[in-house]
Structure 1
């Protein structure tokens, strides 16, 4: 890993851009997956494919998991992957993929709020200012309409609930299982929830009966790409970038994902209102303010 004073290498910048493209495109892949699948089916395929594809990378890591880790890893799998996958899928039946990508940016603020309220993390006035600004942007996004008037979309709350799950997950990892490596935590936790997702898909939904749907192959390809590349592959890239630079540099992907998501959404014919732009600016400003480091005294 480079020191804080070293500029990240070109390869780190290229991988960061690739990561932003992958995660930014995830919301459009969800949209395409919904062409043939119900939201619950899409989420199940996503989790099952991501969990099983990572298995070869984590087989040897199972030996590092101790008895006290298992309940925590199951919780991480449910809160960090399983539940958000379903929330995003159901939300995007009524929300454009680009807007979903912007709302997802609330995750760093949700992480901060939960850390302060539940894990006794210290906070500064500057961070709460960022939270308030970010919340104002969130309100703009969930009430945006073509007429410019406020039109509340309750499905936006599903995305906010997903970011709360992500925030809880990140705090659990940081405060409860920090002794395990990132790949072990993510890979094992995903694998633990993959079998239930697969069982539900094949025995709880008419998945096999849908193979005759003209959109089936296209939608399945989109969802498999979402799980394998957007979840498993992105994790490997993320860990690589962290090792090549630092967490501050890697976290800057937060600012790139909504831009990619919005551009892809507009290219796919989605509407983009002034309120969307204002909401995005407000959320990103809030994240930047909340995460800005305090300058050390001269």
Structure 2
């Protein structure tokens, strides 16, 4: 298959994998606590990445390790737990839509911390996106009064971490192979994740023998291997075949997949929430429009 066609296959595959992550988290929480879910997901992804990418760690130099550690914790470790805790109170589709604020937050951080130049249209885009996020949270709280929508803050915190991580990768780790970064990061994360599992009593044989737990472990195994490890590899390959603009357009597709899974699973979702999610995506588009033009001219 030609690269021009293959990149579309990768894009929609990536959207399917990442968009399905939120419903898998929801299913995993049936038998696991948020701490157990996040730690088991991290351990399994680390093992998988070490098997396929261990030889890439040799490219990581002494100067890189501090940023590798920081990137691992704010780009993978902490967000994994934050999303798991969030979905104990809010629907998976809502968490996915809030996750789409990553480009908006990255843009804001770029302005205030990394001195990024912006134009009026980008500022309008950020403002629209933030209004959409507030509207989504408020409408969700009205529709689901039994859910604690303060937990909607957790995906936004995770998205902020993702945004910081994107800047770290671009500024300090751009000269490393993407698989090497992921493998080295998860090598570091493997040990605290194992500690969390031990702390929560995960390795108790009676706990693991429960049918609910085994079913949840199956869901999280799929999430760890496909939605975490394999998705990282596909994303890296997608960037090689296309460009950063085309690759990050997966942001627009993830909430659509997650929303579909949420509806199938019986989650309450009304038109006002759909409109709020659409407003967020408009904001993301406008805030990144300058970036698009720059990339297309290169």
Please give the residue correspondences for 1:53-202 in structure 2 after superposition, counting only pairs within 5 Å: 53-145=48-140, 153-201=149-197
Per-residue CA distance 1:94-115 (angstroms, 9 max, x = gap):
0101111111000111111112
Normalising to structure 2: TM-score of the pair?
A: 0.92
Aligned to 2:287: 290
Aligned CA-pair RMSD: 2.0
Q: Secondary structure at the match of 1:126?
A: helix
Contact 2:141 2:149 in 1 (8 A): no
Q: Does 1:281 align with 2:264?
A: no
Select which of 224, 229, 232 maps to 1:232: 229
Q: Deviations over 1:103-142 (max 9, x none)?
A: 1000111111112211222222221111111101110111
- For 2:278 and 2:192, how far apart are their aligned partners in 1? 39
Q: Which runs of 5+ in 2 are unaligned?
A: none
Alpha carbons of 1:106 and 1:8: their partners in 2 closer, same or farther (altered >3 Å)?
Answer: farther
Q: Which residue of the partner structure matches residue 8 of structure 2?
A: 13
Match of 1:3 in 2: none
Q: Deviations over 1:5-34 (max 9, x none)?
A: xx9622221121111110000000000000
1:44 paired residue number: 39
Unaligned runs of 5+ in 1: 1-6
Find the counterpart in structure 1 of residue 29 from structure 2: 34
Instruction: Note if contact 2:24-2:220 (Cα within 8 Å) is conserved in structure 1.
Output: yes
Distance change (3 Å), C-alpha of 1:157 and 1:216: same
Residues in 2 aligned to 1:215 and 1:182: alpha-carbon distance in whole angstroms: 36
* Structure 2 residue 226 is the aligned partner of structure 1 residue 245: no
> Aligned with 2:72: secondary structure?
helix
Contact 2:49-2:182 within 8 A present in 1 as well: no
Determine if contact 2:21/2:227 at 8 Å carries over to the other structure.
yes
- Greater helix fraction, Structure 1 or Structure 2: 2
Cα 1:178–1:147 change in 2 (3 A) is closer
Change (3 A) 1:56 1:128: same
How far did 1:225 drift?
A: 1.1
Q: Deviations over 1:192-247 (max 9, x none)?
A: 1122101220x201213311322112100111111111010001111122222222
* TM-score, with length taken from structure 1: 0.92
Give the C-alpha shift of residue 295 in structure 1.
6.0
Counterpart-to-counterpart distance in 2, 1:295 and 1:152: 41
